[in-house]
Amino acid sequence: MNTFILLCEGMDMSAFAERLRLLREARSLSQVRLAELLNVDPRAYNRWEKGTTAPHLDTVIKIADVLQVSIDELVGRKAISDDVKVRNHILHLLWQKADSLPDSEQQALITVLDSFVKKAMVEQAMRLNGVKR
């Protein structure tokens, strides 16, 4: 029997499915992309979100990590925080590691990130104004 189901006996699986969908959408992730980040088949993920099956406990832990929420938030024991962190799980992990870099390296990283953001903003403005490259 599924470990997660045993731990959540009596829990409404449709409520878990709905919470999973809300958390995924709050991070602007598609079902396919979240399945990729979890290294699971998108069809399996879809069944979790429909409430027809439940993930194993180790996968629930991984889902919470990728969505950057506590397991309590994920399973409905705690309200969902409005504080959506970095939406890209890999970027979030790198950000955590970068936070421990020396100040000079952090400043270099800030400069690089800032240049990418500004470039994307200029490209978006050009597209909106119909300017072709």
Total structural domains within the chain:
2
84 inside domain: no
Inter-residue contact 39 to 68 (CB < 8 Å): no
Same domain (yes/no): 93, 68: no
> 17 and 61 in one domain?
yes
* Residue 39, both tokens: 């290294």
Check whether residue 23 and residue 62 sit in a common domain. yes
Which residue range is the domain that position 64 belongs to?
Answer: 3-75
In a domain, 97, yes or no: yes
- Alpha-carbon distance values, 130 to 63, 123, 126 (Å): 40, 10, 6
Q: Which residue has the tokens 């909106």?
A: 128
In the prediction, which pLDDT does 46 show? 96
Give me the pLDDT at residue 7, please. 46
CA distance 107 to 19: 37
Whether residues 8 and 70 share a domain: the answer is yes
Q: What is the pLDDT of residue 95?
A: 73
User: Which residues of the chain carry a pLDDT beneath 70?
Assistant: 1-11, 82-89, 92, 131-133
Same domain, yes or no, for 71 and 95? Answer: no
Give residue 6's pLDDT.
Answer: 40
Cβ partners under 8 Å of residue 70, min gap 6? 64, 78
Q: Do 1 and 58 meet the contact criterion of CB atoms below 8 Å apart?
A: no
* Domain identity same for 64 and 124: no
Nearest to 66 by CA among 74, 77, 54: 74
pTM surpassing 0.75?
no
Rounded to whole angstroms, the Cα distance separating 112 from 106 reads: 10
CA atoms within 13 A on the CB side of 69: 26
Residue 48 and residue 22 share a domain: yes
pLDDT digits (tens, 9 = 90+) for 51-60: 999 899 899 9
Residues 22 and 44 in one domain: yes
Q: Are residues 9 and 66 in the same domain?
A: yes
Is residue 53 domain-shared with residue 114, that is, in the same domain?
no
